Amino acid sequence: MKKNLNFVLITALILQGLTLFAQQKRLTLEDATWMNRALFPASVPQLQWIGDRDEYAYAKENAIYKVTAKKGTETLLLDLDMLNADFHRNGLDSVKRLPRLNFSERDKCSFSLGSKYYDYDLSTNKITLVNSLPDTAKNIDYHRESGKAAYTVKNNLFLAVDGKQTQITFDEDPDFVNGQTVSRVEFGITTGTFWSPGGSKLAFYRKDESQVTDYPLVNIDARVAEVENTKYPMAGMASEQVSLGVYDLQSGKTVFMQTDGPRDQYLTAVTWGPQGKYIYIALLNRDQNHLKINKYDAETGAFVKTLFEETDPKYVEPEHPLYFNPEKPDEFIWFSERDGYDHLYLYNSGGELIKQLTSGEWVVTEFLGYYGKDKIFFRSTKESPLQQNVYSLGLGDGKLTRITPGHGTHSALISKSGKFIIDIFSNTETSRQYNLLSDKGRLLRVIEADKKPLQDYKLGEMLLFDLRAPDGTTLYSRLIYPADFDKTKKYPVIVYVYGGPHAQLVTDSWLGGAGLFLNYLASEGFFVFTLDNRGSANRGRDFEQAIFRHCGSIEVEDQMVGVNYLKTLPYIDSTRIGVDGWSYGGFMTTSLMLKQPETFKVGVAGGPVIDWKYYEVMYGERYMDTPETNPEGYGESSLLNYADKLSGKLLLIHGTMDPTVVWQHSLLFLQKAISNGKQMDYFVYPGHGHGVRGKDRLHLNTKIADYFKTNL
């Protein structure tokens, strides 16, 4: 392998230029786990544009201020005393802190307290109760414009209007679930309900899980442990069957869209047309390689037409709705990877392609909306796969303007007129900063400067650089040096890995995308290395699809490119290489320990996928097909078939109530290791799901750190 040492970004010591005295502070495990308040990057609470005005609001010390974008004139809108005085006038109990206020106009906002929703007119001091929900309400979808709310109780859907509750669905069988997410949130949709423009109709998912296997999770809190079943459709087995209903609030009737086709197809990209007459649904077959964008009559449920179709020999992955143009309601924007990268395409409502809006060997990562006249804003990796910048694009003239200056990872809040942009960014030198920019990218003012929260801490040098895969593909990497690095010594290294789709670990952002825990490990005398292999996010279709039907093969090959580079460094002890990861990273950690036993001495794998046939349908079949159609791939990727290769120190960690990577995975591997006479370590977190959160997170980080300190 030829090593490419052209550094994409080289950041010097994070604390470069600080005094020797200030550098003596060390990260603790508590720092790394809890990020005490002093270690948080700068933040601006309740930052928002006010309606269609070029004015923004923000909160500071229990007060809300308004700022004019053009001149920067700042005015107090409201403080806690003023709010509580108005609460008293309107017969409400006082509060100890400001609720989240959503401004529709300079003097008008809305907020919620518990299950109650209010409108607040600051000019008249009037607070009006708009709606209220029962305490049992879940999956709440509040339509701010109309004040209506949809919610679920158990498996049925309800509606609240002016505090009056109406039940919409009446399924007594718990196998039929209404108004909740479907497809295990694998297609970018995180809700089960969809309000029409104006709020006169409500679309909702209904899923039939009667054919899906009940998977037992065991709750040990009761004196006699209780089984808590969850519906878990494993790859190749029966899946849920989804339909989409539309409830008309005026008539009180529900119709279901006539989504003909196999019952286990996926219904994604649910989008209302601007007038609320039609609803658009992306129908994706279970093989996930054939997509249809269909139009339906929301009044009758009748199929109107297929606008267009997309196919791919591997898979099509819709993750976005249709974005209709408010100025031209017969036009919409669609995300597609059809040319190899996620780009924007302009269509009319008849399904005719008007033009491709963006193109190039980079991806659009987020559509930010239509602003001003015939202009859109979006985020993309155009400058570098490590960066996220904000751009505007004229729909008529095609003029592309980069808004955000410098390098880094940017997001944006854009004024309704599109004339002003609040740029929220971080990069390798900046933890977080808020800037106000013009629509041409000119800096108008700094709203909140970088706090430099780690300036008093002694951290190691961090480098971002690229290497080359055997086929020449660029692989981006990050290396964190020990805080007390001495080039005459030899150090152990921990490879921190994820390696799967929808994740990118190496970025031009604060700490290079590494968290404080990885920097803590470096401060304890380890090199910490990370590489984004083929299969990970934001590099285009072919880069991600490289793992198709063979998870755990190319990823291991690419990770070894990084490891082999590390072995060339004179200060790396090649006999002391460890690896750590969770979820797909747990799968990769275990894969590397078993497939490269001569290289890796120690591994810690959390929530690991062990055999893909025990993983769920939607994700598993996209990347691996089914066990029946791809037996070779499933056999090749199953880590049960490599348990006899274990030679290093391996710790598997699992939450006993994990609903994502079920506990069975690591238990099966433990059983296989025992049957092969292989010693390994195993630890569970009772009651935890896919990850360890809350107060027990410190326990987890301590266990991981101690395992590497003891064994590496």
**What is the share, in percent, of the chain residues with pLDDT greater than 70?**
97
pLDDT at residue number 186:
96
Angle subtended by helix axes 516-523 and 696-711, to nearest 10: 30
pLDDT at residue number 37:
81
pLDDT at residue number 686:
97
pLDDT at residue number 19:
38
Instruction: Please measure the distance between the N-terminal and C-terminal CA atoms of the chain and give it in whole angstroms.
Output: 27
187: pLDDT strictly greater than 80: yes
| DSSP assigned state of 380 | E
pLDDT in tens, 611-624: 999 999 999 999 99
* Domain 9-40+456-606+638-711 coded CATH 3.40.50.1820: yes
Residue 642 near residue 596, CB atoms below 8 Å: no
346: pLDDT strictly greater than 60: yes
Phi-psi category of 675—alpha, beta or left, where left has phi over 0 and alpha has psi -120 to 50?
alpha
Residue 649 near residue 710, CB atoms below 8 Å: no
Q: Cα–Cα distances in Å, from 175 out to 211, 255, 263?
A: 9, 20, 15
6: pLDDT strictly greater than 70: no
Phi-psi category of 106—alpha, beta or left, where left has phi over 0 and alpha has psi -120 to 50?
alpha
Region 60-81: mean pLDDT is: 97
Count how many residues are written for the chain.
Answer: 712
Active site residues: 583, 658, 690
| DSSP assigned state of 56 | E
Residue 526 near residue 493, CB atoms below 8 Å: yes
Q: At 4, is the pLDDT very low, low, confident or very high (cuts 50, 70, 90)?
A: very low
1: pLDDT strictly greater than 50: no
2: pLDDT strictly greater than 80: no
Chain-centre distance for alpha carbon 568: 35
Chain-centre distance for alpha carbon 334: 20
Residue 192 near residue 184, CB atoms below 8 Å: no
In terms of Cα–Cα distance, which of 332, 383, 705 is closest to 520? 705
pLDDT at residue number 640:
98
Region 62-83: mean pLDDT is: 97
For the chain, the domains span 9-40+456-606+638-711, 43-132
Q: At 13, is the pLDDT very low, low, confident or very high (cuts 50, 70, 90)?
A: very low
88: pLDDT strictly greater than 90: yes
5: pLDDT strictly greater than 50: no
pLDDT at residue number 38:
86
pLDDT at residue number 22:
46
509: pLDDT strictly greater than 80: yes
Residue 168 near residue 193, CB atoms below 8 Å: no
Q: How far apart are CA 340 and CA 362, in angstroms?
A: 9
pLDDT in tens, 352-402: 999 999 999 999 999 999 998 899 999 999 999 999 999 999 999 999 999
pLDDT in tens, 526-563: 999 999 999 999 999 999 999 999 999 999 999 999 99
pLDDT in tens, 267-281: 999 999 999 999 999
**What is the share, in percent, of the chain residues with pLDDT greater than 90?**
96
Mean pLDDT of the chain: 95
pLDDT in tens, 446-497: 999 999 999 999 999 999 999 999 999 999 999 999 999 999 999 999 999 9
List the single range of 31-45, 312-326, 383-397, 495-509 with lowest mean pLDDT: 31-45
298: pLDDT strictly greater than 90: yes
pLDDT at residue number 399:
96
Half-sphere exposure of 267 (CA within 13 A, CB side): 33
Chain-centre distance for alpha carbon 604: 24
pLDDT at residue number 34:
87
pLDDT at residue number 96:
96
Tokens coding 631 = 């037996």
Q: How far apart are CA 357 and CA 333, in angstroms?
A: 9
Q: At 341, is the pLDDT very low, low, confident or very high (cuts 50, 70, 90)?
A: very high
**Model pTM?**
0.95
CB atoms within 10 A of CB 252: 10
Which residues share a beta bridge with 281? Answer: 294
Q: Output the DSSP codes for 181-237.
A: --GGG-SS---SEEEPGGGSEEEEEEEE-TTSPEEEEEE-SSSS-EEEEEE--BTTS
List the single range of 2-16, 128-142, 497-511, 642-656 with lowest mean pLDDT: 2-16
